[in-house]
Amino acid sequence: MYHQTGEARLRRQQTKEAIALAMQGRWQEAVAANKAIINVFPKDVNAYNRLGKALTELGQYEEAKIAYSKALEISPKNSIARKNLRRLSLLKEVQPARGGDPHKAAPHLFIEEMGKAGIASLNQPASKEALAKLAAGDSVHLRVSGQSVIVENDHGDYLGEVEPRIGMRLAKLITGGNRYTAAITSLADHEVKIIIKEIFQHPGQAGRPSFPAKVLEDFRPYVRDSILKYDLEDEEAFEEMDDASEWEEEAEEEAEAERLPEGISLLPEDGDEDIDTANILE
């Protein structure tokens, strides 16, 4: 069977543009881009989820709830929409919630010299209401307090304490002159993990590793599964976009389409209507 391909290609292109805007933190434009997709494809669950994310970043929580609710209406089992609605129930409307331009950590800081980066859990985390304002990739700050390391947001608000097995070591190294950068890597219920990278080693600390061997072993999986994606809830979307085989199949289909009569192409296989099958950002 054959059918017109114009709409499918338009949808794919608009989806790529919407994702790119989100990754750049251009949330107002991301809102417009996803609304444009919805106008043409009113059943696009992923577009509603991306719209909800963009509205959340802008502090427009009530509108974000509407977007996620629409996604659930279309797909009742959509876990991303459900998770975000739970999160939004803890937040109050503000304009904007996170300054409109949240401070995100640059992923390359954590890719280079991976031996100097590690993952740490936060003990005694802040309230759910405080944590609900955070997202994967947000920069955080480390402050030494005795033998502990306290984690704070850009406003100096308490977020938690670095787990002792790492915190005690870092407290000594920071006091000794080392410097570190850090960012949120995962948020699940009341559990928070951050990624920490050594950016300067004081000469007096030469030869002293910042992280225990076990922390370094655990680091690699987190690089791909969290901080390098612009938000955890978008992991499935980006993994699918990064799937080279899918792009190769698309290229083959397009090449075959060029050999068919003008305006006609092969009908896609079941379940292959769109490249973006998960939403952008939990």
Separation between Cα atoms, residue 162 and residue 212, nearest integer Å:
14
At residue 69 the predicted structure's pLDDT band, cuts being 50, 70 and 90, is very high
- Intervals of CATH 3.30.70.2330 along the chain: 108-229
Helix 45-57 and helix 61-74: axis angle, to 10°?
A: 170
Residue pair 15/276 in contact (Cβ under 8 Å)? The answer is yes
Separation between Cα atoms, residue 184 and residue 139, nearest integer Å:
6
CATH topology of domain 108-229: Alpha-Beta Plaits (3.30.70)
Closest by alpha carbon to 90, among 128, 34, 147? 128
Residue pair 8/271 in contact (Cβ under 8 Å)? The answer is no
What is the per-residue pLDDT for 215?
54
Give 2-99+234-266's CATH code, choosing from 1.25.40.10, 3.90.650.10, 2.40.160.40, 3.40.50.12160: 1.25.40.10
35 against 96, higher pLDDT:
35
Of the ranges 50-54, 101-105, 191-195, which one carries the lowest mean pLDDT score?
101-105
DSSP annotation of 215 reads: H
What is the per-residue pLDDT for 262?
44
Helix (H) and strand (E) counts in the chain: 11, 8
At CA 174, angle to CA 103 and CA 197, rounded to 5?
A: 45
Residue percentage of the chain with pLDDT more than 70:
64
What is the per-residue pLDDT for 164?
94
At residue 132 the predicted structure's pLDDT band, cuts being 50, 70 and 90, is confident
- Cut 0.75: pTM above it: no
Give tens-digit pLDDT for 97-113: 444 445 666 555 555 45
> Which of 96-110, 124-138, 217-231 has the highest average model confidence (pLDDT)?
124-138
- Intervals of CATH 1.25.40.10 along the chain: 2-99+234-266
Q: Is the pLDDT of residue 37 over 60?
A: yes
Residue pair 266/256 in contact (Cβ under 8 Å)? The answer is yes
Q: Is the pLDDT of residue 190 over 70?
A: yes
What is the per-residue pLDDT for 63?
93
Give tens-digit pLDDT for 227-256: 444 443 443 443 343 333 333 344 444 444
Q: Is the pLDDT of residue 278 over 60?
A: no
Give tens-digit pLDDT for 8-26: 888 888 998 998 888 777 8
Closest by alpha carbon to 167, among 192, 183, 193, 149? 149
The predicted model gives 52-60 an average pLDDT of 86
Q: Is the pLDDT of residue 265 over 90?
A: no
Rounded to a whole number of angstroms, the distance between the first and last alpha carbons of the chain is: 37
DSSP letter string, 33-59: HHHHHHHH-TT-HHHHHHHHHHHHHTT
246 against 183, higher pLDDT:
183
What is the per-residue pLDDT for 166?
92
